[in-house]
Amino acid sequence: MEIKQTAVAGTLESSDIQIMLSKGNHGIEIDLESDVKKQFGDQIISVITTTLKKFGIENAKVKAVDKGALDCVIKARTIAVAQRALKTTDQPAWEVL
Amino acid sequence: MYESIEQLNLNDPRKRQQWENFLKSLGISNFSDKEINGIDLTLGMYDGNELVGTGSAAGNVLKFIGVCNKGVTQGARFNRIISELTSRLYQNQIFHILVFTKKKYSQSFQHLGFTELASTDSAAFLETGSPNITDYLDELPKVVDQEHQSIAGIVMNANPFTLGHRYLIERAASENDWVYVFVVNTDASLFSTDERVALVKQGTADLKNVMVVSGGDYMVSYATFPAYFLPDSVTNIAYQTTMDARIFRDRIAPALHIGTRYIGTEPYSNTTSQYNKALLRELPPKVKVREIKRLKTAAGQYITATQVRKIIQEGDVTRIKELLPKTTYQFIEDHLDMLELRIKKGMNIDGN
């Protein structure tokens, strides 16, 4: 699936993650900012990548600012931002959940 | 304890007073009309009736950020106000956000995903979102084996493109393998950005080693260098020119392997001569600066775009024929009514 527009989901408050998704040409490139990057960086990146792949997104620039979000939050924010970027918010992607 | 965030109407005198007092207590005191009028959105964070945090946006630039941390977790209010402010900009499809701040707050912004582009002893300039400076640089045209060639850079507003600009580009093109011409990307001039870029491209079409590109938000843009477009104090000019020079030195030039920046000597404009001084002070030794003496007409007059705009205002355009390349002259002749209408509508022509 092609990214149609830049989109954002999430906030910068504690326990949340803010994800921005925009067009890219070199696979899924993730730029992650997190205070716990050392411990959980790989895990966060894997949740984002897996979720995006379920939407069929192969190329995207992802900018994520994590404030200690749990995996379920990361997944929810990724789903929201993907649907916004693909302009499919009117068709919830149940199979991804 | 969770504070509420609401939009502040600065036209309400009581709110305005409370807001100014709050910022003054945090050491922010520049409330000039010029600053205030540019603001599109102001948010206030309230604990009961007390203002405990605020932030504003002017276009894609964050301004007047202040929070009181008394009795709460350090940074919590700051994160909330920035979060709310950026979300509102994102909702308005503004995805690239800039901020100027004191050096000591740079770290706080970096915690929220901002990247520092340049800093001085006292101030820092940061961005977040997309497209960022890496995207901007990736989009620019490149040449084969660029790192081993001699590359020059010129930044110009070209409002409009004159034989003086052409002369500067020709000099750079003859002394280097390739030349990047960055055209200022801010619509605050008599000629629009699209018109200026088109005229530079047409006027240099015969020079095969010249690449005309947009300066983006990073070279003499309204965001980084407002004093270029509006009169400002000497301190502000010094601070903005230094920041602009450092972005070029540390971000633009290394990525494109630009070894030399060409500038024209500035006989008249104070801002531009300050800018040249800052470039001469900041760029070497990483980037050489070549100052080229400005071209004169047969009658011994310096060629300036300011003069061209004055004559457009007066209407007798045959007088500027000798200052302009054919392409620019043709454009002015064809669009004289439109240009004069813009001047009548209040477009400032005395600036740059």
- Asked if residue A95 has pLDDT above 90, the reply is no
pLDDT of residue B236: 83
Pairing outcome for strands A28-34 and A60-66: parallel
- Render pLDDT for B311-343 as a digit per residue (tens, 0 to 9): 998 888 888 888 999 999 999 999 999 999 999
Q: Looking at residue B301, what is its pLDDT?
A: 85
Pairing of strands A17-22, A7-9: antiparallel
Q: Among B81, B130, B135, which would you mutate to test the A interface (most chain A Cβ atoms within 10 Å of its Cβ)?
A: B130
Strands of chain A (E only): list them: 7-9, 17-22, 28-34, 60-66
Tell me, yes or no, whether A24 lies in a domain.
yes
Residues of chain B short of pLDDT 70, as ranges, are: 1, 352
Interface with B, mutate which of A4, A17, A65 (most B CBs under 10 A)? A65
Among the partner-chain residues B110, B112, B130, the one whose CB lies closest to the CB of A22 is B130
Nearest-CA distance A17 → chain B (Å): 10
Which residues in chain B are closer than 8 Å to A11, comparing Cβ atoms? 80, 83-84, 87
Instruction: Give the nearest chain A residue to B131 (CA atoms).
Output: A22
Q: What is the pLDDT of residue B1?
A: 58
Q: Is residue A2 part of a domain?
A: no
- CB proximity list for B18: less than 8 A, separation 6 or greater: B51
pLDDT value of position B352: 67
Residue B39: the pLDDT is 92
DSSP β-bridge partners for residue B214? B183
Counting the structural domains of chain A, the total is: 1
> Is the peptide bond preceding residue B160 cis, with omega within 30 degrees of 0?
yes
Task: Give chain A positions within 8 Å (CB) of B113.
Answer: 12, 18, 33, 63-65
Q: What is the CATH number of the domain that holds A14?
A: 3.30.230
pLDDT in tens, A12-44: 989 999 999 999 989 999 999 999 999 999 999
Name B58's bridge partners. Answer: B61
**pLDDT at position A97:** 67
A50-91 residue pLDDT tens: 999 999 999 999 999 999 999 999 999 999 999 999 999 888
| CA–CA distance, B338 with B320 (Å, rounded to integer) | 17
pLDDT value, residue B244: 94
- Taking the alpha carbons at both ends of chain A, their separation in whole angstroms is 17
* Partner A contacted by B115 (CB < 8 A): no
Q: Is B80 within 8 Å of chain A by CB? A: yes
B171 touches A at CB < 8 Å: no
What pLDDT does residue B345 have? Answer: 87
Structural domains in chain B, sorted by start: 4-130 (3.40.630.30), 142-344 (3.40.50.620)
What phi and psi values does residue B79 have, to the nearest 5 degrees? -60, -40
Q: Which two tokens stand for residue A12?
A: 């910068």
State whether residue B77 sits within 8 Å of chain A by CB: no
* Cβ pairs A/B, distance under 8 A: 50
Does residue A1 sit within a domain? no
Per-residue buried b or exposed e for B302-337, using 16+ beta carbons within 10 Å of the residue's own CB: bbbbbbbbebbeeeebeebeebbbebbbebbeeeee
- For residue A24, the enclosing domain spans 7-96
Is any Cβ of chain A less than 8 angstroms from the Cβ of B92? no
